Chains A and B, each alone.
Chain A
Amino acid sequence: MAAKPFHLAWFTSFNPPSWRSPWGGVSGEEWMTGEYHLSMIKQMERAGFDFIMFEDSTMVSDAMGGTQELDLKHALHSPKLDPFPLLPMLARETEKIGLIATGSTSFYPPFILARVMATMDHLTGGRVGWNVVTSSEDVAAQNYGIDKLLPHDERYDMAEEHVGIVKKLWESWEPDAVVMDRETGHYADHTKVSPIHHEGTYFKVRGPLNMPAGPQGVLPICQAGGSPRGRDFAAKHANAIVVTQPIVSKMKEYREDIRARAEKFGRDPDDVKVLFHLSPVIGETEDEAWEQHHRLFGMEDPLAIEKVLAMTAAVTEIDFGKYDLDAPFPQDLTTNGHQSVLADLMERNKDKTLRESLSERAQLGPQVVGTPTSVADQMEALMEEVGGDGFLILAAPHTRRYIDAICSGVAPELQRRGLVRTEYPHATFKENLLAF
């Protein structure tokens, strides 16, 4: 049995691509103009991708040893430009593909968020979505004058209220409010534009929005909820969910859980697409693909090791640099940071060396390696097993050559098998995303 058609999307940031790669070109110097991402999205649209998604954060992290050194040396969390101004430019030179930008409910007032998103929906002809994040780093909050973020679950309470206001603002102009009657000189009918007068726990907003919503009205929402509270939020609001999960059985389990939760909230589970992170490693032959895999994830390059150690330290607050890379993964660690992450790391790596664990950590999602044809086989098999709904590609490495390997190699093979779209039948992003 073959898998059902599934969705392809790409997960990225407005940040420097892999500037040290042999195929990095001048992207390390020129990424800020947006031209790199422009060439990327044109490729993606050709290859039948549903959307490009820009994750975002607003900090220079010093979680690694209390200094910004490694964050900046490896360009990890920083630099990162604001994705909002980039989206309209990318949309201007494409026709159908969706574009998702991240906006934090902790840092944007709901009125600004609703307005900038609705403006972009007009500018893109109905092709934007909002990736809702609550933000989790105090060092980012402090840029906005907030000493400490609310506790995890309360951040979700605030996000619930925020999203509710944004939706009300998008609906504050009735669909037929703009009448454009040349005879009576009426552009819009004021009886169909109403204040929202929201007064809640975290926000107070009068409204109405000072513009009608865009072609999609209420925009598609994207979310990445792992905790029970986050899963509920995603199941309630999201049309696309971002998941990082290397183990196939857990991919399937997660998707079924989300679908059950969506039903509990009275939604059609098919309106919630669960998309899994994937970084296929691609070569012209199987051997070349595995050699490339070794170069990327073999953890022999001290700089690559340092980079993954820094990423791990950022969440666990543990300096793994002091342990022997080829000894078993230490099992007696404690932290004040993300305790569940650390416990999970120790459990998952109890039979591995530290080097092996880093290799796994560097790869997000299940391991898929091979020629375009065999990568397509593996993706098809994964989807058959999980049940849907598609993949979010993370570039490995982020170069124009890699983007081409996916868009001119893997995606056309999936299209030939009828697994990935060859056209966008609808005008808006949301309709295309939910078409199958």
Chain B
Amino acid sequence: MSADPFHLAWFAADGFGVKSWGKTFSGRGGQDWADPALWIDLAQALERARFDFIIIEDSSYMPDTYGGTSEAYLKTATATPKMDPSVLAPLMSHATKKIGIVPTMSVSEHHPYGLARTINTLDHMSQGRTGWNIVTGSNDNAAKNYGLDDWLEHDERYDMADEFFDLACRLWTSWEEDAVVLDEATGTWGDFTKVHTVDFQGTYFSSRGPLNAPQSPQGLPTFVQAGGSPRGKKFDARAANAIISGVEGGPAKMKAFRDDIRAQAALAGRSPDDVKVLYLISPIIAETDEEAWAKRRRQTEFAEAHPEIGLLHLSRHSRIDFSQWDLDEVIPEGTTTNGHRQQLEQCIGKTPRQILREGFGQGNFEIVGSPDTVAAQLDEAMEEVGGDGFLIASRDLNRRYISEIADGLVPALQRRGVVREEYSHDTFRDNLLAF
């Protein structure tokens, strides 16, 4: 018996930056990182593999949490440089026809009107294939780029996100669907009686409206979010169509996470099937299982030889300087943050070396093997979890890895009948919610 059909998507960790350099199959990744060609290739390969969507992660600050300096981040090109994904997205959608493209944009940095307008434009240009990965600011260096000393406190950031979301949705629907009449006889392009101001006055934002452009093909873009904290999950259950889940601990924990989200979505008055929970994984794939495990060993050896690389992200996300602990010192109870809470909580009681060995950031559970082996593992996991699919993430993103997934793993999954072989609809949301 197999799992019900599930979804595949890609999480481009570390955003529009240096994806791979200085390694065997990096190619010219170091020099050509600002050229969109790799991203266009990624979008076309994943459309060939019938993926639902690609998320382009983002943050807009120079990290310096680890060791209090940007040195290690810049040395390893980790989380910097990083360019604006909202102008990369249209190139990826222009080169494809069906796959969803999801730039990340922060509710802490943009005004709802500007963000709603950009996303509306992207949805028009992509003809209904744009998503929005909703994030709140977490690192205070970003706040300082926008004239603030720090962001709001963690839970209040979500209150602000709630308000932002409501206002943006009102702007996206401020033109009725049939407001554009194109009546040649009377010379009427748009019917003003169907375009409404929103006159929104909230705690954090106000906006008059209407948006200065008609509804886009999807109306509302498809919403993606990654809130693992209790407050984050509450937001997800209300707003998200797809949830990025980084929960650790294997299928049992994954199932518990999904069941919780679905229950909360139902409480929020939504159909739980309209909220797809997708789990981050970074499968290591080779021609044989032995070769895959050998690759896994080499990756572990590299990580242990360069422990700081693994701790750079953890530091900037958690806003805790992991260079303060020896590799074998236990992260003490009571360590708290105004940054990413779920990630930090998963570290407490462990040593940095343990965290690295468990492959932090490698996803929900370890997946290693030939395409057929990995396909079987994913099938089995989905059967246990109940749905809804996986998000492939790889920090070392190169064309070889893309091909291993799109041309190796996905055909193996298709042979098992657990992922789609054709898109059934034209818009991103319709495809995502089709099963």
* Contact of B80 (CB < 8 Å), options: A84, A211, A306: A211
Q: Is B212's CB under 8 angstroms from A109's CB? A: no
Q: Which residue on A lies nearest to B206, using beta carbons?
A: A145
Does B127 belong to the interface (CB within 8 Å)? yes
In the complex with contacts A119-B16, A145-B207, A86-B125 CB distance below 8 A: yes
Q: Is A108's CB under 8 angstroms from B81's CB? A: no
Q: Is B144's CB under 8 angstroms from A119's CB? A: no
Q: Is B82's CB under 8 angstroms from A87's CB? A: no
In the complex with contacts A80-B212, A116-B87, A206-B145, A72-B80 CB distance below 8 A: no
* Contact of B36 (CB < 8 Å), options: A19, A88, A144, A145: A88
Residues on A with C-beta less than 8 A from B141 are 206
Interface residues of B in 200-244 (CB under 8 A from A): 205-210, 212-214, 216
Q: Is A145's CB under 8 angstroms from B111's CB? A: yes
Q: Is A193's CB under 8 angstroms from B70's CB? A: yes
Q: Is A73's CB under 8 angstroms from B188's CB? A: yes
Q: Is A85's CB under 8 angstroms from B75's CB? A: no
Interface residues of A in 172-192 (CB under 8 A from B): 177, 180, 182, 185-190
Does A366 belong to the interface (CB within 8 Å)? no
* Contact of B114 (CB < 8 Å), options: A85, A107, A118, A142: A107
Does A158 belong to the interface (CB within 8 Å)? no
* Contact of A123 (CB < 8 Å), options: B87, B118, B188: B87
Interface residues of B in 117-150 (CB under 8 A from A): 117-118, 120-122, 124-125, 127, 141, 144-147
Q: Which residue on B lies nearest to A147, using beta carbons?
A: B206
A-B contacts, CB under 8 A, total: 215
Of A55-63, A263-271, A352-360, A399-407, the one contacting chain B is A55-63
- Closest Cβ–Cβ distance, residue A389 to chain B (whole Å): 29
Does B84 belong to the interface (CB within 8 Å)? yes
Q: Is B207's CB under 8 angstroms from A92's CB? A: no
Of B88-96, B287-295, B383-391, the one contacting chain A is B88-96
Does B166 belong to the interface (CB within 8 Å)? no
Q: Is A206's CB under 8 angstroms from B144's CB? A: yes
Q: Is B113's CB under 8 angstroms from A58's CB? A: yes
Q: Which residue on B lies nearest to A207, using beta carbons?
A: B145
Does B22 belong to the interface (CB within 8 Å)? yes
Q: Is B87's CB under 8 angstroms from A187's CB? A: no
Does B61 belong to the interface (CB within 8 Å)? yes
Of A28-36, A285-293, A372-380, A421-429, the one contacting chain B is A28-36
Q: Is A85's CB under 8 angstroms from B190's CB? A: no
Residues on B with C-beta less than 8 A from A84 are 86-87, 118, 121
* Contact of B83 (CB < 8 Å), options: A115, A139, A204: A115
Does A74 belong to the interface (CB within 8 Å)? yes
- Closest Cβ–Cβ distance, residue B97 to chain A (whole Å): 12
Does A48 belong to the interface (CB within 8 Å)? no
Chain B contact residues (Cβ within 8 angstroms of A): what range? 35 or more
Residues on B with C-beta less than 8 A from A209 are 62
Cα of A60 to Cα of B208 in the assembled complex, Å: 10
In the complex with contacts A120-B87, A122-B34, A190-B70, A142-B77 CB distance below 8 A: no
In the complex with contacts A120-B87, A145-B111, A185-B76, A79-B146 CB distance below 8 A: no
Cα of A123 to Cα of B192 in the assembled complex, Å: 38
Does B21 belong to the interface (CB within 8 Å)? yes
In the complex with contacts A57-B212, A189-B74, A210-B61, A85-B69 CB distance below 8 A: no
Does A89 belong to the interface (CB within 8 Å)? yes
Does A111 belong to the interface (CB within 8 Å)? yes
- Closest Cβ–Cβ distance, residue B102 to chain A (whole Å): 14
Q: Is B124's CB under 8 angstroms from A143's CB? A: no
Q: Is B192's CB under 8 angstroms from A69's CB? A: yes
Q: Which residue on A lies nearest to B202, using beta carbons?
A: A145
Does B335 belong to the interface (CB within 8 Å)? no
Does A365 belong to the interface (CB within 8 Å)? no
Q: Is B74's CB under 8 angstroms from A82's CB? A: no
Q: Which 5 A-B pairs have the closest CB atoms?
A: A72-B190, A206-B144, A187-B77, A32-B124, A122-B34
Binding site for A on B (CB under 8 A): 16-18, 21-22, 30-31, 34-36, 59-62, 69-71, 73-77, 80-84, 86-91, 94, 109-111, 113-114, 117-118, 120-122, 124-125, 127, 141, 144-147, 179, 182, 184, 187-192, 195, 205-210, 212-214, 216
